[in-house]
Amino acid sequence: MVYKRFSVGVGIRILMIIFCLYLGLWLYYSQDLWLAPAILGFIAMVQIGELIYYVNSVNHKLARFLDSIRYTDFSSSFTSDSQMGQSFREVNMAFNEVMNVFKQTRAEKEEQMLFLQVIIQHINSGIISFNAEGKIGVINNAAKHLLQIPQFRDISDLGKLSKGLLEQVMEMKPGQRVSYRVNPNLHLIIQSTSLKMGGLSWTLLSLQNINAELQSNELEAWQNLTKVLRHEIMNSITPISSLVDSLSTILEEDSYVQKEGFLIKKDGYQDIQEGLDTIANRSKGLVNFVNAYRDYTNIPLPKKELVSVKSLFENVLILMKEDLKGSDIKIKTDIQPDDLSILCDHDQITMILINLMKNASESIQNHKERTIWLSAISQGDLGTMLRVEDHGPGIIPEALERIFVPFYTTKKTGSGIGLAISRQIMNLHRGSLQVTSIPGEKTVFTLNFR
């Protein structure tokens, strides 16, 4: 409607100009008058000027409107000019309505931005964003408190705290999560995310100090270990101490002094022999326990190399061949894709897989379904997953929570150290070892490599 009225206004003005010019020319040539044509010519010139102003005023308003949008200046207002007609009043009203919508939208965005900034500042985890040039965009109070870096304006300023931390951050890929100990009081978990804003690439870091949690877990672990050590040592020392007292009593009661030495009754001799055998066996058990503890606490750092999963599985099957001989247990493998490789210590991961497969074979020994599934799946940026699955009796929930605790075992034989060592090896690989089980259906151990 606005454009129609604008066109009508322009059309009327053009007709008026043509009419004045035509009438002036007619009076000049037909009536031989010159004053009236001069007046009509002046009126035509005024109308032409008014037409130019009429058209340009719309262009000026439109240009001012677009400049307001371009520079996000929504304080301008467009007043109605009664002399310009109804169409211009409608144009001004339309411009003002659009400006009000932009004002409201910007106000809402500013409120949302302020709300997000308040949330970010109140998050307990440290938040830092920086662009490709290293310039800091956002840093909250938690990050400032954690890092204690004065004048923190560039990501390179992290080097003031720790050069190793800066190198670790710069090497991180989007979605990666790493742990880094800066000093005895600062152990950071760092997670990286990439995003685009304002046409620029930004990296968002979240930092959390887990030192207090680690100390708490360490204390709890020492307490649990102390309980286990005390339990195992007391189980060995108590009967040994009791047997020593009994043997002393037997020697006093069943031995006699003779000129050439001592004479011991036959029954007393047999009791002493049995007691010494028992002491020897309990002592060996205690030595084995101490050796198992030493193995758990002295795992070497992994020597990582790119290993073909196919060759890894083939090696495990060769090593397991003798153990599974005559047990009627089948092993099925699945690798997706076929040329999948992982960065790991070949020997250590082989040891984990053999341990898991031995556990699986023992659990399905007297079961109908005697098949073990050994599989590997690539998850893209999420890493690689190796799985050992059996459809045996499963693990009850109470035991599922404790099977990775050192020296805990559900089997009649075994030290209970295998799964604990396996999980520690995966931790050293910066991966994880997890288990899921449905009693009576299946058990799945999963090795996750990031």
CA distance 9 to 137: 53
CB atoms within 10 A of CB 222: 10
* Residue pointed to by tokens 């247990």: 329
**CATH assignment of the domain containing 416:** 3.30.565.10
Q: Quick one: average pLDDT of 218-236?
A: 66
Average pLDDT, whole number, for the chain?
78
C-alpha angle 349-354-358 in degrees, rounded to nearest 5: 150
| Per-residue pLDDT reduced to its tens digit, 330-385 | 889 999 999 999 999 888 898 889 889 888 888 888 777 788 999 999 988 788 99
82 falls in which pLDDT band (50, 70, 90)?
Answer: very low
Specify the higher pLDDT residue, 225 or 326: 326
- Shared domain check, 164 and 72: no
Q: Is position 243 within any domain?
A: yes
The answer, yes or no, to whether residue 41 has pLDDT greater than 80, is no
Structural domain boundaries, residue 424: 305-449
Range from 35-44, 76-85, 322-331 carrying the lowest mean pLDDT: 76-85
Range from 108-112, 181-185, 345-349, 350-354 carrying the lowest mean pLDDT: 108-112
Q: Is position 115 within any domain?
A: no
Q: Is position 318 within any domain?
A: yes
Q: Which of 249, 277, 297 is the last residue before a domain boundary?
A: 297
- Shared domain check, 202 and 220: no
Top-ranked range on mean pLDDT: pick from 17-26, 74-83, 388-397: 388-397
- Shared domain check, 431 and 332: yes
Count of domains observed in the chain: 4
- Shared domain check, 268 and 319: no
**CATH assignment of the domain containing 260:** 1.10.287
Task: Tell me the C-alpha to C-alpha distance, in Å, between residue 20 and each of 13, 17, 32, 42.
Answer: 11, 5, 16, 9
What does the buried/exposed string (b/e) look like for 389-402 if buried means 16 or more CB atoms within 10 Å of the residue's CB? bbbbbbbeeeebee
**pLDDT at position 27, please?**
75
Q: Which of 297, 320, 343 is the last residue before a domain boundary?
A: 297
Tokens (6 digits) for 222: 């020492």
> Torsion over CA of 360, 361, 366 and 371, rounded to 10 degrees?
90
Q: Which of 44, 79, 110 is the last residue before a domain boundary?
A: 110
- Shared domain check, 342 and 273: no
29 falls in which pLDDT band (50, 70, 90)?
Answer: confident
Top-ranked range on mean pLDDT: pick from 72-81, 268-277, 383-392: 383-392
**pLDDT at position 297, please?**
61
SS3 for 277? helix
CB atoms within 10 A of CB 419: 22
- Shared domain check, 17 and 99: yes
- Shared domain check, 443 and 313: yes
